[in-house]
Amino acid sequence: MRTTIHSERLDLVPLTPAFLRAMLEHDLAGAGRILGMPVPEGLLDVTDAMSLWLKKLAVDPTLQPWLARAMVLREAGVMVGHIGFHTAPGEEYLRPYAPGGVEFGFTVFSPFLRQGFAREASKALMGWAHQVHGVTSFVLSIRPDNVASQALAAGLGFVRIGSHIDDVDGLEDVLVHILGQPTTSPVSLRFPSSLSTRRLLLRRLQRADAQALCAYRSLPEVARYQSWKTFGPDDAARLLDDQQDRDIGIPGTWLQVAIVEAGTGQLIGDCGLHCLADEPRQFEIGVTLAPSRQGQGYATEALDCLVHYLFTALSARRIFATTDALNDPAAALFRRLGFRQEAHHIEHRAFKGTWTSEFVFALLAREWEMEKGSEKGARK
């Protein structure tokens, strides 16, 4: 189905299988007749991509509206570039940071640069996906040195969530934009170099933390209520690789924060901060502490600092935690921090060979502010 998307100056016209076959045969004249206008020779530079698009359409013709489109300057009747999604919505590779979302890319030919065509086409393409198909999450992959495209993405509301190595283009930043996300988004691209408490430093995990991570995470008494059964050097390496380019407050992602004993410089635990994909002003929080440091108030001190950070620096609206109903110290910890018990789920989840029950604790920003205000009043 050939559905053209219209914007103020542009028509975004699907590139059909017939057009793609003509281009792969280097038949510019034939491709022009199919498109209804001359085809720039520069389009021959993307024949590898065209071959991939054609294969996808052969397998699933319904992908046509999602794949490549010509950017056509309506008044002049000329092709100024091309734009399109890589897939239909909901591909598995996007699930960690843009569930139900789509990735797209664009190219504007040299004679037509710096005229706002890429921005106009991007807004029209995202608008069509949202209005017709309900898509709200969009992804771009852009080289760090592509200053113009980086600026365009920032202007459209995209934020960097990490990077990857592309087989063709090399290192690329991965950027995400969620439609309808409040302008007062909690996103703060980099976690501070450190947050300090009376006895602790809270910072990003570093590759040098691998041995210390294994030392406490591999202990059975630590793993008992955690998602892992074992935790060895390979697990530590994967976690640290995943966290190197991870930023705080990016919807759908976890950031692990190191808990470091200030007096010794020793890593004694870590905290997890999960920004919800569909509610980016809500955070899930968790903590793992070495047994040798438990019972000394370190977990309370670390989480109290991070709760303060999330509510003040990131404008979080709600913070919650889920604990195993048998984990009495964890439940006591969140009650000390002023969290309410919102739920008690009875044997609702299969976990490590048994049906487990869980508590949900939560704290709203207004509740936290009232509690802090009452504490100040009491100290006067």
Do 213 and 170 share a structural domain?
no
Residue after which a domain boundary falls, among 178, 205, 236: 178
Residue 183 lies in a domain: no
- Identify the pLDDT of residue 373: 61
- Between 5 and 183, where is the model more confident? 5
Residue 27 pLDDT greater than 60, yes or no = yes
Residue 70 pLDDT greater than 90, yes or no = yes
249: nearest Cα among 321, 193, 315, 204: 315
Do 235 and 91 share a structural domain?
no
Residue 170 lies in a domain: yes
CATH no. for residue 278? 3.40.630.30
Residue 185 lies in a domain: no
Give pLDDT tens digits for 134-181.
999 999 999 888 878 888 888 788 888 777 787 777 888 888 998 865
Do 201 and 145 share a structural domain?
no
At 80, list the tokens: 């100024």
Residue after which a domain boundary falls, among 144, 178, 212: 178
- Between 375 and 113, where is the model more confident? 113
- Identify the pLDDT of residue 276: 87
Residue 190 lies in a domain: no
Residues facing 273 on adjacent strands? 255, 285
Do 143 and 220 share a structural domain?
no
- Other beta carbons less than 10 A from residue 44's beta carbon: 14
Do 369 and 231 share a structural domain?
yes
11: nearest Cα among 114, 102, 128, 135: 128
Residue 155 lies in a domain: yes
Do 217 and 70 share a structural domain?
no
Do 265 and 125 share a structural domain?
no
Distance, in Å, from the CA atom of 265 to the CA atom of 279, rounded to the nearest integer, reads 35
321: nearest Cα among 297, 341, 336: 341
Residue 188 lies in a domain: no
Give pLDDT tens digits for 337-374.
999 999 999 998 888 888 999 999 999 998 998 887 65
Confidence of residue 186 (pLDDT cuts 50, 70, 90): very low
Q: What domain range includes position 286?
A: 195-379
Distance, in Å, from the CA atom of 12 to the CA atom of 205, rounded to the nearest integer, reads 44
Residue 186 lies in a domain: no
Q: Average pLDDT of 185-190?
A: 48
Do 57 and 164 share a structural domain?
yes
Residue 338 lies in a domain: yes
Do 199 and 173 share a structural domain?
no
Do 146 and 58 share a structural domain?
yes
- Identify the pLDDT of residue 378: 46
Whether the Cβ atoms of residue 88 and residue 123 lie closer than 8 Å to each other? no
Give pLDDT tens digits for 249-301.
777 788 999 999 999 999 999 999 998 877 878 999 999 999 999 999 999 99
Whether the Cβ atoms of residue 313 and residue 305 lie closer than 8 Å to each other? no
Give pLDDT tens digits for 35-65.
999 988 878 778 888 899 899 999 999 999 9
- Identify the pLDDT of residue 213: 96
Residue after which a domain boundary falls, among 143, 178, 213: 178
Give pLDDT tens digits for 76-109.
999 999 999 999 998 988 887 788 899 999 999 9
State the total domains in the chain. 2
- Identify the pLDDT of residue 145: 80
- Identify the pLDDT of residue 154: 81
Tell me the residue type at 107. Answer: T
Query: Is the pTM of the predicted complex or chain greater than 0.85?
Result: no
- Identify the pLDDT of residue 45: 79
Helix (H, G, I), strand (E, B) or coil at 265: coil
Whether the Cβ atoms of residue 283 and residue 273 lie closer than 8 Å to each other? yes
Do 276 and 169 share a structural domain?
no
* Cα 17 off chain centre by: 33
Place of tokens 């389009």: 43
Do 154 and 58 share a structural domain?
yes
